[in-house]
Amino acid sequence: MKIAFFGTPDFAIPSLELLVKSKHKVVCIVCQPDKPVGRGGKIEFSPVKQFGLTHGIPVLQPERISNEVHILDKYKPDIIVTCAFGQILKQNVLDYCKQGVINVHASLLPKYRGSSPIQWAIINGEKVTGVTIMQTDIGLDTGDIILSSKINIGDDETAGELFERLSVLGAEMLLDALETGARTPQDHSQATQYPMLSKEKAQIDFTKTAEEIRNFVRGMNPWPVAWFEHEGEVVRVYKASAIALDSNTPPSGHPFVSKGSISCGGKFVVPCADGFVSLDVIQLPGGKVLPAKDYINGRRIKIPSQ
């Protein structure tokens, strides 16, 4: 089968690799246009584009494939496979190939439709997630399910770590999905959808419980990275843990709680809804990502003496 592969980031690479090694033929790759990265504005190729160039596969980068679907004409694909492509497809693209479009989606649909299913599953404290291979229709992740497979989420697993495992699972499922004609409609009454993430939405809300904050930090790692302001500076948080209330932790009436942070046993501890949360791995502006205790020992975080 001749495949046009639509994808852009690292998540798509395992699927692309297995397709290239399979009996099928990837006739072209469609990915997002190149964008400048960092303060210097240097142009960097996406992982999928770099893979295509390395393997001699034609790479197409339309601003909107729905406006330029004719660029596929010379390749005559039988099916389009999408995996973290980054553009919403209109009906003319969905109807372009005889076998339509199938998508690799990193959740157990109909739960977690949308652009950030891995992060939101962790933020919401889910214990199980998975991958769904679906037949794409005009809705947002509303198409019929071809295959789905579950995977457990580790208690301390970050979005980045889960991202890697799900990308491999999705690739393994994709080859099977290309061989089956079975389709199961989604139960739309069970659908959930959450907004796209951004740096602004990564601010920690310390009115949440310690477990909610811990999960939020896990879900925001490695991007956009959870943060909060401390003495006028933005502190990024890569790992957090709940602090049990016992004789070694100050009660909620401790005088320094109202000031927003305390030093407790070499930890950077902040009060929250149900007690305290320890911010274990952090980064100050211009600094390295380090255990909080290293910053405290170096007196880079000003914490009231007790």
Q: Bridge-partner residues for 278, per DSSP? A: 241, 269
Are residues 224 and 186 both part of a single domain? no
Are residues 77 and 162 both part of a single domain? yes
DSSP-derived 3-state class of residue 269: strand
User: Residue 149: is its pLDDT beyond 60?
Assistant: yes
Q: Which of 190, 217, 251 is the last residue of a domain?
A: 190
Question: What kind and span of H or E run contains 238?
Answer: strand 233-243
Phi, psi (deg, nearest 5) at residue 75: -100, -20
68 CB neighbour count, 10 Å cutoff: 13
The per-residue pLDDT for range 24-70, each reduced to its tens digit, is: 999 999 999 998 877 777 888 999 999 999 999 999 999 999 999 99
User: Residue 257: is its pLDDT beyond 60?
Assistant: no
Q: Which two tokens stand for residue 166?
A: 């799900």
* More confident of the two residues 303 and 79: 79
Are residues 126 and 66 both part of a single domain? yes
Is 129 inside a domain boundary? yes
- Alpha carbon 99 to chain centroid distance? 28
Q: Which two tokens stand for residue 241?
A: 């843990």
Q: Quick one: pLDDT at residue 271? A: 85
Are residues 145 and 260 both part of a single domain? no
Q: Which of 155, 190, 225 is the last residue of a domain?
A: 190
How many domains does the structure of the chain reveal?
2
Is 97 within 8 Å of 176 (Cβ atoms)? no
In angstroms, rounded to a whole number, what is the distance separating the alpha carbons of residues 203 and 292? 18
Are residues 204 and 153 both part of a single domain? no
In the 8-state DSSP scheme, what is residue 74?
G
Is 306 inside a domain boundary? no
- Alpha carbon 103 to chain centroid distance? 16
In angstroms, rounded to a whole number, what is the distance separating the alpha carbons of residues 278 and 15? 38
Q: Quick one: pLDDT at residue 33? A: 95
Q: What percent of the chain has pLDDT over 70?
A: 90
- pTM for this model (two decimals): 0.90
Residue 220 belongs to domain spanning: 200-297
**Cβ-based burial of 195 (10 A; exposed 0-12, middle 13-18, buried ≥19):** exposed
